[in-house]
Structure 1
Amino acid sequence: MSPESPAPSARPVGSTVESERHASWLELFFDLVAVAGIAQLAHLLREDPTRGDLALYCLLYLAFWTAWMCFTTYGNVAADKARTRTILLGMLGLAVMAAAVPGIESDHGRAFAIAFVAVRFLASRIWQGRGEVVVDWPTAQLSAGVVPWLVSIWAEAPTRYWLWALGLGIDLGLTFVLSRNRLLTRAQEEWRERYEGRERYEGRERPSHTPPVAARLDARHLDERLGLFTLIVIGESVAVAIEAASQTEWDAPLGALAVGAFVLLLALWSLAVRRACGVPLLAFGALAPRFALPLHCVATAALAALAASLGGAIEDAGEPLPADVEWLLCGSVAVFLTVGLLGGALSGRGVRWILAVGVPVAAAPIVLAAVSHHVHPAALVWALAAVARWPWLYDKRRARTKPAGPH
C-alpha cells in the first residue's frame, strides 16, 4: 500500500447492526410483487404434477427468490438512502418474470431469462461506487452466475433449464465457498491497485479515496423482511384455498377439508412467523445470514408448493387424492418441518427436543403419504395439521411440568 493510501476500516467483517427501522411501504410493495410471481409458479404444480413439473418449479422458485433477495439486501443496507427508481425497476423485472411463467416452456422462457438477467445486472450495479462488500450474501453483488442465464437466451428447452440450474448453482456455490474475509480482502486489493494507479483515470471515474468495507446488515430489519415474506406466502396459500373452494360445490367433505387446510396453515404460520424470523423454529439471530437465508428459501418454496396441493385437494374434495398430489401435499409439509428441525436444533433446543419433536414431525408426513392411499383428503389434511401442531403442544406441556424456580 502506498504511503497515501488510507488504512482499511477496522469494522468487523460481516458485522450486523440492530435498529428500530421497519420495512417501508416500498419494500412491502416489492414483496407483494415477488409473491405474485411465486403464486404463478404454484400453477405449475396443479393437476397431477410430474417430477419434471416439480423440478421446473424448484428452479423457477429459486430464481424468483434470488432476485428478491438481491434487492432485499440492498434495501436493508441502504435503508432510507435506497433509490426508489432502482427498486421500482427491479419490481418491473420481477413482474415480467411472473408474467412469463404460464408459457415458460414456449418463447416465454426467453423473456423470463432476459428479465432475470436484467434484474441481476441492475442489482449488482447498485453497489458500484458505494464502497461496500456484501460479505453476508455475495450473490447480491456478484454476477458470475448470470452468465449461463445470458447464454440461455439463445438456447431451447431443456438445455435452457440446465443453463439456469448451472447459473443458480454458481450463485450458491460462491456464497458458501467465498469466506467473508476473502471477499473483503480481494475487494480491498482491487481497490489498492486502482488507487495506486489513479493517475491513469483521466476522464473516467476515479477510485474512491477510502477502501471498501463490509456492508453491515440490519439484523432486525432483515428478520422482519423474511417474516413478512413468509407471512405473505402463507396468505397466498389461504387465497388459493379460498379460490378453489369458491369453484366447488359446498358440502360436508369440502367443509371438513377447508377447515383442516386453514388449521394446517395456521400451525405452519405459528412455527415460522409467530416466534421465529420467517424460518420455522429458528430463533432470531441464531444463524448467520448466509446460512439462514437458504433455509428461508426452502421453507417458503415448500409453503408455495403446499398451496398448490391444497388447491388441488379442495377442487376434488369428495374423492381420494391422486398419488402425485398426495405426495406433493405430504412432501411439502415434510420439507417445511425438516427446515423446522434444523431451525430448532440450531437454536439450541437440545437432543431431547430433536428426538421427541424435530425428527418425528419431519418424518410423519412421509409416513402418512406412504400409508394414506384412498384416505379422504380431509382426514389426511387434519393428520398433517396435528403433526404440525405437535411442537407447540410439546412446548406447552413442558412449560406446565417444569418446576417453578425459587421466589
Structure 2
Amino acid sequence: MAETHVNTLVSTPGGERHASWLELFFDLVAVAGVAQLAHLLHGEPGWRDVGLYIVLYLAFWTNWLSLTLYGNVAGERTRTRILLIGMFGLTVMAAAVHGVQQGDRGTAFAIAYAVTRFIGGNAFGDRREVVVDWPTVTFTAGAVPWTVSIFVHGPARPWLWALGVVMDLYVTFAFSREHLLRTLRERAEHRRTREQGRAAAPESRREARGRDLAVVETDTEHLAERLGLFSIIVLGEGVYQIVEAASDAHWDRGLYATVAGAFALLVLLWSLSLSRGRGGVPCLGAASPPTRVLLGLHCFVTGAVAALAAGVGVLVEHADGGLPHQTAWMMATALGAYLLVATGLAHWTRVGSLRRLLAAALPSLAVCAAVGGFDGAGRRPAGLVWLLVLALVWFSAGMRRYDSPKSS
C-alpha cells in the first residue's frame, strides 16, 4: 500500500554556519533595491507615495526573504542557479522602481515579482518542503494579484499589489504552527486514503515516496546573521545618501552640523538594532520571539530605517534651509514606529522595571511627535536631525538603566 505522510525535519546543520560567498553575492541586490526604493521618498512625498513605498518594500523584502530562507534550509545543497535567477529577478524589480507607476515599468516590476516569487516557492516545492516558520514562502497565492496586475493598467494596479501583500501577511500570521502541521497531516492522510485503491506497483510506491512532505524549520543563528546583513545594507544606504548629498552641497557650518547629526543618527540606529539587538531587530533580550514574529518585525523595522536613510539624504541636500515639510513628518513617523517596536520588545524579552522603560520611551516619542510638526520651510535641517538624535540618545540611555544583569 502506498503511503504519503508528513515528515518533520529541523534544519540544524552541525557546527557554526555563516553566510556563504554565494549568499553574500546574492545580498548585493539588496543594495540596489533599497537605494531605488529610497528614491520614492525624496522630494515632497505624499500619502500615496508613502503607501506605494510600503507596498513595494514589502514585495522586495518578501522575495529576498523567500530565497534567503531557501539557502538557509538547503545549506550546502543550495542550487546556485536558483539564487542567481532570483537575483536577476530582484535586480529587474529594483531597476523598475523608478517610474514604476508608468505602464511599462509597472508591468516589468509585476512580472519580475511574480516570476521570482514562484521560483522561490518552487525551490521548496521541488524539495517537498514546507517552511513552518514563514509559510508564505511555500504558499504563493499572494503572487496571483501581481500576475493579474500585468494585464491591468491605471490606478487599479497598485491596489492589486497591495492585495497580494495583504494575502501574504494573512497566510503568515493567521495560521499557527500547530494549525499548519495539522492541515498538512490531514492533506497527507487524504492523499494516502485516495491511493489505497491503486495498484501497489514498485513505480507507484516510488511516486508516493517522492510526494512525502518535510516540514522544515530554519537555522536560527544563520538566519539572524543574514537578517543582520540586510540591516547593515539599509544603514549603509543612509551613509551613501549622506555622501551623495554632501558631495553636491555648499560646505558650510550648516552642512557640517547636519552631516554630523545624520551620521550620529545612523550610528545610534546601528547600536540599537545590531549591537543591542538581534537580526537587525532592536532591544531583543534573552527571550527572543518566535521566528515568524522576528521576521515580521525585521521587515517593519528595516522599512522604517530605510525611510530614515532616505530622509537623512534629504536633510543634507537642504542643509541651507527650505526643507520640505513632508520630510519632517516622514522621519518623525518612521523613528516613532521604530521606538514603539523597540519599547514593546524590551518589555517582552527583557527583565526590568516597566516604569524605567516608560521613562526612556515616552519622552523620546514626545520628541518625535514634536518633530512631526517641524516647520521645515522656516528652519535649518540641523535642528531637526539633532532633535531626532536627542530622542535616540535618551531612549538608548534609558534602555541601559532598564537592562538587568540577567538580560545583559
| TM-score normalized by the length of structure 2 | 0.90
Mapped contact 1:129–1:208 kept (Cα < 8 A): no
Partner residue of 1:173? 170
Secondary structure of the 1:213 match is strand
Mapped contact 1:18–1:219 kept (Cα < 8 A): no
Mapped contact 1:40–1:101 kept (Cα < 8 A): yes
For residue 257 of structure 1, what is the amino acid of its counterpart? T
In the alignment, structure 1 segments of 5+ residues that lack a partner are: none
Matched, 1:114 2:126: no
Instruction: Give the fraction of aligned pairs with identical amino acids, expressed as a percent.
Output: 45
Mapped contact 2:325–2:374 kept (Cα < 8 A): no
Partner residue of 1:290? 292
Q: 1:310 aligns with which of 307, 312, 334?
A: 312
Partner residue of 2:395? 391
In the alignment, structure 2 segments of 5+ residues that lack a partner are: none
Secondary structure of the 1:36 match is helix
Q: Distance in 2 between matches of 1:183 and 1:29?
A: 33
Partner residue of 1:380? 384
Secondary structure of the 1:133 match is strand
Matched, 1:369 2:372: yes
Query: Aligned-residue CA RMSD in angstroms?
Result: 2.6
Mapped contact 1:133–1:184 kept (Cα < 8 A): no
- What do residues 190-223 of structure 1 show as CA deviations (whole Å, max 9, x unaligned)? 3344455284797998232684232021111111
- For 1:1-400, what aligned pairs fall within 5 Å after superposition? 5=3, 9=7, 19-106=15-102, 107-195=104-192, 197=195, 199=198, 206-208=207-209, 211-277=212-278, 278-283=280-285, 286-350=288-352, 351-370=354-373, 374-396=378-400
Secondary structure of the 1:22 match is coil
Q: Distance in 2 between matches of 1:392 and 1:315?
A: 28
- How has the CA–CA distance of structure 1 residues 6 and 123 changed in structure 2, closer, same or farther, with 3 Å as cutoff? closer
For residue 340 of structure 2, what is the amino acid of its counterpart? T
Secondary structure of the 2:98 match is helix
Q: Distance in 2 between matches of 1:128 and 1:289?
A: 21
- What do residues 226-269 of structure 1 show as CA deviations (whole Å, max 9, x unaligned)? 11110111011101110000011111100110011000100000
Mapped contact 2:286–2:350 kept (Cα < 8 A): no
Mapped contact 2:356–2:401 kept (Cα < 8 A): no
Q: Distance in 1 between matches of 2:14 and 2:363?
A: 35
Q: Distance in 1 between matches of 2:40 and 2:165?
A: 20
Secondary structure of the 1:154 match is coil
Equivalent residue pairs, number: 397
Secondary structure of the 2:153 match is coil
Mapped contact 2:374–2:384 kept (Cα < 8 A): no
- How has the CA–CA distance of structure 1 residues 377 and 90 changed in structure 2, closer, same or farther, with 3 Å as cutoff? same
Deviation at 1:155, TM superposition (A): 0.6
For residue 45 of structure 2, what is the amino acid of its counterpart? P
Mapped contact 1:184–1:213 kept (Cα < 8 A): no
Secondary structure of the 2:86 match is helix
Q: Distance in 1 between matches of 2:6 and 2:93?
A: 40
- What do residues 287-337 of structure 1 show as CA deviations (whole Å, max 9, x unaligned)? 011111111111111111112211111111011422111111222222222
Deviates more, 1:342-351 or 1:235-244: 342-351
Q: Distance in 1 between matches of 2:327 and 2:172?
A: 34
For residue 86 of structure 2, what is the amino acid of its counterpart? G
Mapped contact 1:31–1:229 kept (Cα < 8 A): yes
Mapped contact 2:304–2:337 kept (Cα < 8 A): yes
Deviates more, 1:98-107 or 1:198-207: 198-207
- How has the CA–CA distance of structure 1 residues 227 and 378 changed in structure 2, closer, same or farther, with 3 Å as cutoff? same
Deviates more, 1:276-285 or 1:156-165: 276-285
Mapped contact 2:110–2:146 kept (Cα < 8 A): yes
Mapped contact 1:341–1:359 kept (Cα < 8 A): no
Deviation at 1:20, TM superposition (A): 1.0
Deviation at 1:397, TM superposition (A): 5.1
For residue 283 of structure 2, what is the amino acid of its counterpart? L
Q: Distance in 2 between matches of 1:397 and 1:173?
A: 38
Mapped contact 1:152–1:160 kept (Cα < 8 A): yes
Q: Distance in 2 between matches of 1:310 and 1:42?
A: 11
Mapped contact 1:253–1:318 kept (Cα < 8 A): yes
- How has the CA–CA distance of structure 1 residues 333 and 326 changed in structure 2, closer, same or farther, with 3 Å as cutoff? same
For residue 356 of structure 1, what is the amino acid of its counterpart? A
Mapped contact 2:5–2:185 kept (Cα < 8 A): no
Mapped contact 1:17–1:216 kept (Cα < 8 A): no
Q: Distance in 2 between matches of 1:149 and 1:85?
A: 24
Q: Distance in 2 between matches of 1:56 and 1:181?
A: 34
| TM-score normalized by the length of structure 1 | 0.90
Deviation at 1:35, TM superposition (A): 3.0
